[in-house]
Structure 1
Amino acid sequence: MHAQTQSDPAAQEQTPSRLRWVGGLLVGTFLWAIAVVAAHAIPPVFLGIDLVGPTYAVVALLFAPLALGAVVAGLRVARCRLADAGFTLGDEAARDVALGVAIAAVWAALQFLVLIPVTGGAERADVVVNSEQIGTTLGGLGAFVLLAWGGGFAEEVYFRSHLMTSLRGILGTSRGARAVTVLVPTLLFAMLHGYQGGWVGMLDTGAFGGLTLSLLFFWKGRLLPCVVAHAMWNTIASVVIFTLYQAGGATG
């Protein structure tokens, strides 16, 4: 038999080209940015309600579906299957959930037992910012927990499923390419969260929401553990800040 010297056209058609990956990344990023702006602008601009406390429930309900639609659109431009971008459950779902919860719990213990107390406690810039966003009512806390899951999902579908998958398609799988694929979302995630207390917020969010969750996505190749870890950490942080660091505590 003669060796096959030409690639299989069907296989080539199924593999996204680098140009398609770039196009998909640009489309998904543009649409995701619109989703961010829309989710945060609609409540104050079109509904006339201040962006504080219970209003964040509206943000969560808007952000999650808009972000998912943006990412799906970008992946379709790249001709990437959703399963190849981490949208899969399978037999590992329960373990993925448990892993996400465990990672969030460890990070929360590190933050609230060590890092936050020695770097300012209730006066630390990111704690102050989050306290102001949550407000002093149980309604505000509930909205922020909803945002933890809706916003956490919205950020994970972009930073992990879309951005990291696209970078891998563009750059390949060499050691240097893998390093860049982790570094880019880590830095971008940190910079986009600079409003949470300046450099302190950037370091914290970059270390967890950037580096830790990017490495987790590389390890597992699935979105679920990243979403659970992200959302659980945000949930724990919201509850602890509300109960321990809020001046005035729960009033309704």
Structure 2
Amino acid sequence: MTDIPVAQSPSRMRWLLAVLLGTVLWALALGASFVLPQTLLGLRFGGATHAVSGVFQLLLGAGAIYLACRAAGLRWPDIGATRASWRTDVLVGLAVAAGFALLQFGLIIPLTGGAQRSDVVANLEQLHGGAGAVFGLATLSVLGAIAEELLFRGLLLHGIAALLGRTRTAWTVAVVLVTVLFGAVHGYQGWAGVVDTALYGGLTLSLLCLWRGGRITAAIAAHAGWNAIAVGCLVLLY
């Protein structure tokens, strides 16, 4: 793990403001993404409506991170959101997603409970409702992954490291904290889901981000790619 170079080094107070404000705004955006389709559009929760929630989650989540960065005087590149080497990063991310999917559905899930695993059960419940539910969950999974990466790999990973001085130890602590937080917010999937999301969505994607020079593009592709593949595998295999 190496120090991640940045063009500017905003003060720690600015980073603290961005992290705190961004986390609060992003959490509000997440809640609103499930409430607004029902209150504003009169849609029922679940099924194909998840696709609308995904659009809201992406727009509101990205808006929350943008407002936090703007208030703190940060730029998109400060949190790793840059177009540099994006084609390579996307391919690397998708390869990571495919490799993890092969490992997960080919070995880990069958050996640890299969259809009885808590995370498999939770996700299959969301897929009830035919093609509309599959489309809705797949869309939410992909768009939600982008919003999550802006927070976890973008603002939090870079922000925590910046607050601690951007040393090797600081990045290590940032990776650990983001791993724990990412697993915790997926508690609705049970312990199996918490462990898996922490190891992949928390640890693996954080290390992937650092390996790619702090850019979050590969992590976005790996996250969105895994979510899309997982939905397809759940439908086909279970």
Shared fold per TM-score greater than 0.5:
yes
Structure 1 counterpart of 2:111, which letter? Answer: V
1:25-72 per-residue CA deviation (whole Å, 9 max, x = no partner) reads 111111001001101222344544443221110110100010111111
**1:148 touches 1:232 (CA, 8 Å); kept in 2?**
no
What is the percentage of aligned positions where both structures have the same residue? 43
The structure 2 residue matched to 1:137, chosen from 130, 133, 156, is: 130
**How many residues are paired up?**
230
In structure 2, distance between residues paired with 1:47 and 1:185: 34
**Unaligned 5+ residue runs, structure 2?**
1-7
In structure 1, what residue type is equivalent to 2:191? W
Instruction: Supply the distance in 1 between the matched residues of 2:86 and 2:21 (Cα, whole angstroms).
Output: 30
In structure 2, C-alpha distance between the alignment counterparts of 1:75 and 1:167, rounded to whole Å: 14
Counterpart secondary structure, 1:89: coil
CA contact (8 A) 2:118 2:191 kept: no
Q: Given the alignment of the two structures, is residue 213 of structure 1 paired with residue 205 of structure 2, yes or no?
A: yes
1:147 Cα deviation after fit: 1.2
Q: Given the alignment, which residue of 51, 76, 80 partners 2:70?
A: 76
Q: Deviations over 1:105-144 (max 9, x none)?
A: 1110111011110111111111111011122411211122
2 CA distance for matches of 1:80 and 1:219? 22
Aligned twin of 1:32: 26
How big is the shift at 1:18? 1.1
Per the TM alignment, residue 78 of structure 1 is displaced from its structure 2 partner at its CA by 2.6
CA RMSD of the aligned region, Å? 1.4
TM-score computed with the length of structure 1 as normaliser: 0.87
What CA deviation, in whole Å up to 9, does each residue of 1:198-219 have, x standing for no partner?
1111000000110011111111
8 Å contact kept, 1:28–1:75: yes
Gaps of at least 5 residues in structure 1 are: 1-13, 246-252
User: Cα distance, 1:222 vs. partner?
Assistant: 1.1
TM-score (norm 2): 0.92
* Cross-structure match for 2:233: 240
- CA displacement 1:76-116 (0-9 Å, x = unmatched): 233222112111113x2221111011100111011101111
